[in-house]
């Protein structure tokens, strides 16, 4: 079947024991549910295929009994064939030894049945309310239990990563960003474009966001700081909300009247730009934030250095060039796959 991989979407599978937090994670990250409301969610009882308007393709599997590696009629390829990453959710507030045993046997099975390239991403979840020391203790313990078991079976370098997550703060989005970045082909090229754009335009930080989930799939190479990520991610909400109320379409005469010189050097370019574009100035540090739609899933959001207004026409032009470059990279990524 022409699955997600054929459309060039990275595919993620979320697994873990019942009540570990899978439905909550997918509701908060992909359906904008406020974290408190997950208390009333019904537990995942079946395979959920979450097909939505996101850059990535995402499935949730409840653990108990669903994957029987020994059953010859079970089509492993249908589940794992196109998967880029398997996210395994462990409830850090609960007794987790059984969860780890299941995870270990799943990893061993994947390693020995030809799916050893799948990234295993362990979300040590619900760490809100735990002290920093305790979180690190748990992470150390979980890591140890998994690595011991694998090296007992002769697997020393299985691709396993650990993340401390909670739906009550941005850690869950940060973890997804790290997971997804490993699956993006040509990531260094995306980063180089963003670096270049930051340097030329005087941006403090630039993120390429999946608009629906607000997971960033690439950023420039300066360190990620939580405040800039949160501001950019909240700004996407603002723009999406305003656009939903007032519509996405802008008549050509508005564009020429409101978005011409002195903001833009070349009016023709602007008329050709049908994508959402916006800029807001924060009063705290007087730093502008810029958002520019890239395609139907992605947006470029950047924090501009203070006092960059005078350079705004150049900035808009740089952003246009960067968006063109990003689209070209995605085009290159897609081509060989459609031919196959």
Residue 44 engages ligand GDP in binding (rule: CB under 6 A): yes
Residue 43 engages ligand GDP in binding (rule: CB under 6 A): yes
Three-state SS for 37-105 is HHHHCCCCCCCEEECCCCCCEEEECCCCCCCCCCCCCCCHHHHHCCCCEEEEEEECCCCCHHHHHHHHH
The answer to whether 175 and 165 have CB atoms below 8 angstroms apart is yes
Beta strands in the chain (DSSP E): 11-16, 48-50, 57-60, 85-91, 119-125, 160-165, 203-210, 215-219, 277-281, 288-293, 298-304
- What is the contact mask toward ligand GDP in residues 85 to 124, using x (rule: CB under 6 A)? ----------------------------------------
Nearer residue to ligand GDP within complex by CB, 137 or 241: 137
Which of 50, 82, 94, 128 touches ligand GDP by CB under 6 A? Answer: 128
> Judged by CB under 6 A, which stretch of 40-48, 100-108, 300-308, 313-321 contacts ligand GDP?
40-48
Nearer residue to ligand GDP within complex by CB, 20 or 59: 20
Residue 200 engages ligand GDP in binding (rule: CB under 6 A): no
Angle at 122 between CA 112 and CA 2, to 5 degrees: 65
> Judged by CB under 6 A, which stretch of 35-43, 67-75, 152-160, 195-203 contacts ligand GDP?
35-43
Residue 24 engages ligand GDP in binding (rule: CB under 6 A): yes
In the block, which residue shows the tokens 């979300």? 123
Which of 1, 34, 39, 284 touches ligand GDP by CB under 6 A? Answer: 39
> Judged by CB under 6 A, which stretch of 21-29, 218-226, 264-272, 318-326 contacts ligand GDP?
21-29
Determine the Cα–Cα distance for residues 307 and 255; give it in Å rounded to an integer: 25
Which of 4, 23, 291, 304 touches ligand GDP by CB under 6 A? Answer: 23
- What is the contact mask toward ligand GDP in residues 154 to 193, using x (rule: CB under 6 A)? ------------xxx-------------------------
Exposed (0-12), middle (13-18) or buried (19+): which is 77, by Cβ within 10 Å? exposed
Residue 135 engages ligand GDP in binding (rule: CB under 6 A): no
Shortest approach of ligand GDP to residue 101 CB, angstroms?
A: 17
Nearer residue to ligand GDP within complex by CB, 128 or 317: 128
The answer to whether 120 and 86 have CB atoms below 8 angstroms apart is yes
- What is the contact mask toward ligand GDP in residues 1 to 20, using x (rule: CB under 6 A)? ---------------x-xxx
Site for ligand GDP (CB under 6 A): how many residues? 19
Q: Are strands 288-293 and 298-304 parallel, antiparallel or unpaired?
A: antiparallel
Rg for the chain, CA atoms, rounded? 22
Nearer residue to ligand GDP within complex by CB, 20 or 213: 20
The answer to whether 79 and 67 have CB atoms below 8 angstroms apart is yes
Shortest approach of ligand GDP to residue 267 CB, angstroms?
A: 49
What are the C-alpha distances in Å from 285 to residues 29, 140, 204, 304, 308? Answer: 29, 39, 12, 11, 12
On the CB side of 339, CA atoms within 13 Å amount to 6
Q: Exposure pattern of 276-294 as b/e (b: 16+ CB <10 Å)?
A: bbbbeeeeeeebbbbbbbb
Nearer residue to ligand GDP within complex by CB, 21 or 288: 21
Nearer residue to ligand GDP within complex by CB, 27 or 228: 27
């Amino acid at each position: 079947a022409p699955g997600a991989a054929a459309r060039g979407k990275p595919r993620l599978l979320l697994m873990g024991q019942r009540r570990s937090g899978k439905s909550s994670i997918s509701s908060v990250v992909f359906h904008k549910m406020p974290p408190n409301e997950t208390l009333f969610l019904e537990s995942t009882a079946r395979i959920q295929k979450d097909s939505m308007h996101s850059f990535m393709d995402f499935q949730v599997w409840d653990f108990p009994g669903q994957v029987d590696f020994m059953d010859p009629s079970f089509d492993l390829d249908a589940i794992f064939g196109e998967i880029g990453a398997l996210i395994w959710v462990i409830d850090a507030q609960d007794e987790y030894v059984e969860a780890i045993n299941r995870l270990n046997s799943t990893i061993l099975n994947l390693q020995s049945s030809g799916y050893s390239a799948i990234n295993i991403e362990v979300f040590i979840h619900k760490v809100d309310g735990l002290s920093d020391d305790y979180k690190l203790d748990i992470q150390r313990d979980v890591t140890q239990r998994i690595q011991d078991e694998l090296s007992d079976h002769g697997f020393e370098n299985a691709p396993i990563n650990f993340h401390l997550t909670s739906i009550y703060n941005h850690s869950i989005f940060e973890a997804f960003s790290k997971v997804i970045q490993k699956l993006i082909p040509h990531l260094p090229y995306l980063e180089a474009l963003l670096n270049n754009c930051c340097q030329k335009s005087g941006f403090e930080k630039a993120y390429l966001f999946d608009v629906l989930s607000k997971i960033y799939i690439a950023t420039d190479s300066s360190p990620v700081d939580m405040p800039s990520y949160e501001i950019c991610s909240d700004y996407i909400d603002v723009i999406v909300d305003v656009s939903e109320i007032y519509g996405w379409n802008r008549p050509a005469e508005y564009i020429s009247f409101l978005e011409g010189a002195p903001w833009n050097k070349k009016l023709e370019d602007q008329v050709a730009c049908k994508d959402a574009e916006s800029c807001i100035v924060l009063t705290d540090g007087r730093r502008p934030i810029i958002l520019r739609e890239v395609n139907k899933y992605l947006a470029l959001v950047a924090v501009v250095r203070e006092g960059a207004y005078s350079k705004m026409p150049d900035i808009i032009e740089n952003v246009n060039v960067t968006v063109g470059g990003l689209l070209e990279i995605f085009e290159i990524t897609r081509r060989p796959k459609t031919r196959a």
